[in-house]
Chains A and B, each alone.
Chain A
Amino acid sequence: MSAEANKIFNPELWVQKYGDDLYAWAFHRTGKKVVAEDLVQETFLSALGSMEKFRGDSNEKTWLFSILKNKIIDYYRKAFVKYEMNESRMQPDHKETSFLNHFFDKHGSWNKSQRPSNWHDEEDNLLDDEEFRQILKLCLNSLPENWFALINLKFMEERKTPEVCKELGITPSNLWVIMHRAKLQLRACIEENFLD
């Protein structure tokens, strides 16, 4: 290890200094203890391997976090591919039509029971409402795995469609179709649980 790298980095202290913060983030993003632990370990090992390349333009913690974020992207990319393959083994066309039929009638108008209600979000700032946020989290987690993976990939740090599509090997059209369905389901779940 070069003298410069030695000065900036103290890998022996990484677990002690950053282990909990990295784990908290990984667990928050994946919801899975073992997965989060593995991601933290992989982050440290990956960091060890690329210490020489580090240009010192950020601090140790920021750098480790950026490695972790890339690991999380990989994790969701693999999850998407895995669950997308499972999906396509079922009959995709039939599934897609019947999904939309739940929300819209044969003319493409909202079914009466599915019409969006008023959430009165001008009056109450829902983004600060703890109950709303809990329901959002629950509803997100109840989405199909491949949709959930895509949402994570797209919304994580406001990543752009072309970038996400390239990673997953899908077209923007594919992405828009999934997001449409995911948002329909998510919105309906939230309305059902949030409005009494």
Chain B
Amino acid sequence: MKAIMHTLMLSCTKATELIERKSMDGLTFTDNIRLSMHTAMCSACKQYAKQSLLLNSAISQHLNEVPENKTKKKSILESQARERIQKELEKNLKKE
């Protein structure tokens, strides 16, 4: 039964591929329908789709949010690095 289904419909492999692609760049009309049909029938891929979107938001939040807003201590420049950078900056300033 499973084998027959998968010749007519998307495999979960393909479905998860389309789920990712859809969230980034959208799908063709046909692929959209095929994916909808698959997730309507496949609870695993329905979960995957939900989680994939959640992860996209979570990744975006993680990569784009400014660290200083968190309650954790903010990383700061070590004094050695600070001095080194200041010196380098001043050296190049003098060239102006």
Contact = CB atoms under 8 A, between A and B. Distances in A.
Interface of A: 1, 11-12, 14-15, 19-21, 23-25, 27-29, 33, 36-37, 40-41, 44-45, 48, 100, 103-104, 107-110, 115-119, 121, 126-127, 132-133, 136-137, 140, 151-152, 154-158, 161, 172, 175-176, 179-180, 183-184, 186-187, 190-191
Size bracket of the B interface = 35 or more
Interface of B: 2-3, 6, 11-14, 16-17, 20-21, 24-25, 44-45, 47-48, 50-52, 54-64, 66-68, 74-78, 81-82, 84-86, 88-90, 92-93, 96
A104 B42 CA distance: 14
B63 A116 contact: no
Q: Is the interface of B mostly helix, strand, loop or mixed?
A: helix
Contact of B52 (A40, A103, A104, A183): A183
A40 B12 contact: no
9 contacts: A24-B75, A44-B85, A44-B88, A45-B89, A107-B6, A109-B2, A118-B47, A126-B58, A180-B21
B13 A116 contact: no
